[in-house]
Homo-oligomer: A and B are copies of this chain.
Amino acid sequence: MKRDQRLVQSETAIVEAALKTLITNPSAAMSEIAIAADVGRATLYRHFETREVLIKALVVDCMKETEIALKGIEHLKGRAAFEAIFDLLMPLADRYQFMAGIWSQVQNDKDLVKIEAGWKKDMQALVKQTKKRGEINRDIPSEWIVAVFDSTFAAAWVLVSSGDLSPSDAARYAKQTFFSGCAG
């Protein structure tokens, strides 16, 4: 017995519309999302009990995509790891635009905060490793490096989302800028 086609159709429509809507307006109402998904408001609530549940589901989706994308780069070290991250994550620009905008509404969710904290920790470890390899200037504080990495990504995502740059071009510029900026 197959799953009713209407269910999957509604759900994918909702997820896509919610993502797009919440990127442009992180505090968009459920009714706006329903309209964008071309779905009744009641149906929206049938699929996601509350607004909170919907948002968490979207964030979890994005995080899963990230971890899938990053699968198999554990063996890379230092600069090569950084470059792989730029390449692999740049196509997910819109997902990160969404996460960045919605984050303040999610800061009370222990699960998500914990995952984010883990990422930050991994990042700091990678920075230290790269410093040891001499690919990043040891005199620059790691906090600054991490902050610059994040903000370089953000800059690239904005230009990708707005269509000014392709993901691959953006990744190239981001890598160049980041390493030139942090090497010397």
In the bound complex, residues from chain B placing their C-beta under 8 Å from that of A26 are 104
- The stretch that binds B, out of A63-71, A110-118, A126-134, A147-155, is A147-155
Pick from A151, A159, A178 the residue with the most CB of B within 10 Å. A151
Kindly report which residue of chain B lies nearest to residue A149, judged by CB atoms.
B155
Write the nearest CB–CB distance from A146 to chain B, whole angstroms. Answer: 9
> When the two chains form their complex, are residues B144 and A159 in contact, meaning their CB atoms are under 8 A apart?
yes
In the bound complex, residues from chain B placing their C-beta under 8 Å from that of A180 are 180-184
A173 proximal to B (CB < 8 A): yes
Interface size grouping (class) on chain A: 20 to 34
Pick from A27, A148, A156, A159 the residue with the most CB of B within 10 Å. A148
In the complex, what distance in Å separates the CA atom of A158 from the CA atom of B151? Answer: 10
A164 proximal to B (CB < 8 A): yes
A31 proximal to B (CB < 8 A): no
Q: Which of B144, B154, B156, B181 contacts A154 (CB 8 A)?
A: B154
Q: Which of B155, B182, B183 contacts A147 (CB 8 A)?
A: B155
In the bound complex, residues from chain B placing their C-beta under 8 Å from that of A144 are 155, 159, 165, 173, 177
**A104 with B25: in contact, given A140-B173, A143-B159, A144-B173 (CB under 8 Å)?**
yes
In the complex, what distance in Å separates the CA atom of A183 from the CA atom of B141? Answer: 21
Q: Which of B140, B148, B158, B184 contacts A152 (CB 8 A)?
A: B148
What are 16 inter-chain pairs, A to B, with CB distance below 8 A? A25-B104, A27-B27, A140-B173, A140-B177, A143-B159, A144-B159, A144-B173, A147-B155, A147-B156, A148-B177, A150-B155, A154-B154, A176-B181, A176-B184, A177-B182, A180-B184
Q: Which residues of A contact B (CB under 8 A)?
A: 25-27, 104, 140-141, 143-144, 147-148, 150-152, 154-156, 158-159, 164-165, 173, 176-178, 180-184
